[in-house]
Amino acid sequence: MNTVRRIIEIKTIGELSDREIARALGISNSTVSRILARIKDSNVTPIEAKALDDRALFDLVYPKVPGRSSSPEKVVPDIDSLVALLGSNKKLTAQLLYEEYVNQLEQGSFYSYSWFVDQISKAKNAKPLSMPLSHIPGDECYVDYAGQTFPIYDSKSNKVDFYAQIFLATLAFSGYTYVEAQRSQKICDFITGHVNAFDAFGGLPNKLRSDNLKAAVTENTRDNLKLNDAYIALCTHYLIEPTPARPYHPKDKAKVEQMVGHVTRKVLMGLRDRKFYSLGELNEAIKILVAKLNQTPFQKKDGSRSSLYKDHEANVLRELPATRYVYGDYSLVKAGLDYHVSIDHVYYSVPFDLRGKYLNVKLSKNLVEVFDSTLLVACHQRHFKRGDYITNTDHMPSNHRLALKDPAIDIMEKARLIGSSTSEVVESILASTQFRDSAVRSARATLKLAELYGKNTLEKASELAIEICSPTRASLESILSKGLYETPRNAQAVLSACNHHNLRGPSYYERVASR
């Protein structure tokens, strides 16, 4: 039907003769004349014929001849379902499916085997439509590993020590790319690559699209998405939304897949004849070639990846936080009833209302960070002495904080509220003995005298106790019980003179002094 439609189309848009149409399409003149004549005999214009579907157009151009027996219509199999069957069962063959197709139909109503196989091949190789995507500057970053690895040699044996993995991070809008050679694709290296890429970009995107390697994603199905705890912590620290690509959908991260090809051809292949003995040495060489790649002009538009990044993307990336993210090992621990979690036999406090709850712990070189889901609830400097308790008093309930407080401080605060003399007496009582507990008990008992006699009375009694140089609880109790604080007192006691034969008198001491 394609040839018929092309004949009709050329006839409707031009003034070409039948011979010229035949020459243009590479068919005989008689075929063109016959087809156009049949359309004309059916009282249908070429424009009307062009609008007919394939079946109606076929009946119009090739009408049935009266009296001639027609062959049965050929049945078209469901090619898509057959391709799906072949894909789901590797032991199933096209030959078997064709035999089943033929056995279900009468003679002459099925297509040939060559046609059958050709249709299956076309369906397998059919490529879906691609939609061009537009990216917002600074919105998204794609990360992936190149399939190509690079050998790192041992300096002593000159043999391959390990094969370095090549990490890539690409900004979606500009295509500006960061590349780093790493020892492995393990989570520590994967996270470190992100942190270094953000530093190289000088800012943060809003979204992060990765492949489904275990360092980032533990489960990614149509109904469920689970991310690695360390990857969640990285995104939480930088406030980035993780949007992993769907499994087996490389077009979800087409930008970085394209850059993987560029980096493999123009960077890694450019270093293929060189030997490297450390990751640092390799990364220095990669850095030079990647900078050149970013500055290479585009072939089909103006500028380069580097110029697009500098002009449109660098200034819209979000600002980096004050501290770089530091990777740490994660574990799930249960907070005890003493609101502490045990990490390597060292005990770190968490808020007391989280006791008995399972919490995520991030353990790095110098820090212990505790998370309730994604919320940071405790942070401690890491200690290494087994059995130590590291407690933040803010994590304690009020009654526990009070129990830790020095009782002498509380006693002195209460004494100052009564008066300066009472405060002086209580301070003297606390310092009167080397046994701290005994002194505290005596000071508390002294303050309780205010409940029996009143604060003003205790202040007056304390003044008298200080005046007679006896600032003790026993003296205060005696003064208060006898009411001595009410007796008027002279500033200086005057002793009345009396005569007695036992008293020598001042004349005696004068004589002694004159000798």
- pLDDT single digits (tens) 301-323: 899 999 999 999 999 999 999 98
CA separation for the pair 119, 79 (Å, rounded): 7
Amino acid identity at 385: K
Closest among 145, 246, 249 to 187, alpha carbons compared: 145
Nearest 5°: the CA angle 385, 387, 392 is: 90
Q: Tell me which of 398 and 200 has the higher pLDDT.
A: 200
- pLDDT single digits (tens) 340-369: 999 989 999 999 999 999 999 988 767 899
CA dihedral 400, 405, 411, 412 (to 10 degrees): -150
- pLDDT single digits (tens) 189-226: 899 999 999 999 999 999 999 888 877 888 878 778 88
**pLDDT on residue 492:** 41
**pLDDT on residue 495:** 43
CA separation for the pair 363, 381 (Å, rounded): 10
pLDDT band at 329 (very low <50, low <70, confident <90, very high): confident
Average pLDDT over residues 469-487: 85
Looking at the chain, the whole-number percentage of residues with pLDDT higher than 90 is 35
**pLDDT on residue 506:** 74
Q: What is the mean pLDDT of the chain?
A: 85
pLDDT band at 491 (very low <50, low <70, confident <90, very high): very low
Asked if residue 81 lies in contact with residue 123, where contact means CB atoms within 8 angstroms, the answer is no
Per DSSP, the three-state class of 245 is coil
CA separation for the pair 419, 256 (Å, rounded): 77
Q: Tell me which of 499 and 307 has the higher pLDDT.
A: 307
- pLDDT single digits (tens) 424-438: 998 888 888 778 788
**pLDDT at position 501 over 70:** no
Domains of the chain, residue spans: 2-61, 79-125, 140-313, 329-396, 406-486
**pLDDT at position 493 over 50:** no
Q: Which residues contact 226 (CB under 8 A, 6 or more apart)?
A: 217, 218, 219, 220
> For 361, phi and psi rounded to 5 degrees?
-115, 130
Looking at the chain, the whole-number percentage of residues with pLDDT higher than 70 is 93
Closest among 43, 308, 342, 290 to 174, alpha carbons compared: 308
**pLDDT on residue 67:** 54
Asked if residue 167 lies in contact with residue 190, where contact means CB atoms within 8 angstroms, the answer is yes
Asked if residue 359 lies in contact with residue 370, where contact means CB atoms within 8 angstroms, the answer is yes
CA separation for the pair 366, 364 (Å, rounded): 6
**pLDDT at position 91 over 70:** yes
Query: What is the domain class of 140-313 according to CATH?
Result: alpha beta
